[in-house]
Amino acid sequence: MKNNETNRHKVYIFKSNKHIYAHIIDHKTNKVLTSSSTLSKEITNENGTKCNKNCKTASIVGKSIAIKLKQLGIQKVIFDRGNNIYHGQIKALADATRKEGIIF
């Protein structure tokens, strides 16, 4: 890892069979600062039930995590997609996060 990247926080993406999660992790202490997922209160569909994962809800999770990053005053992060390929839901989440002004 480059020297200037050690000060950045990490956005870690995890996908289960039904949901997608994005966690903001402090790189120095390895603590989760905040997170967003399809199970979050702010991410529900129109009838109030929790959303299943697809590209549309992944982009909503990406926008939500970007808003939380801005509230924490974080502009640059490391994007950790785990073992997932950069395609579909992962790409939709990353694109929505970048669209809100987060740099990685």
Tens-digit pLDDT profile for residues 23-41:
999 988 889 999 999 888 8
The yes-or-no verdict on residue 70 having pLDDT over 90 is yes
As to burial, measured by CB atoms within 10 angstroms (0-12 exposed, 13-18 middle, 19+ buried), residue 98 is middle
The yes-or-no verdict on residue 98 having pLDDT over 90 is yes
The yes-or-no verdict on residue 1 having pLDDT over 60 is no
Is 3-99 assigned to CATH 1.20.1560.10?
Answer: no
The yes-or-no verdict on residue 6 having pLDDT over 80 is no
The yes-or-no verdict on residue 47 having pLDDT over 60 is no
Domains in the chain: boundaries = 3-99
Quote the pLDDT of residue 24: 95
Report the sign of the C-alpha dihedral through residues 38, 41, 46, 50, in that order: positive
Strands 9-15 and 20-26: antiparallel
Q: Mean pLDDT over residues 35-60, rounded?
A: 78
Quote the pLDDT of residue 39: 86
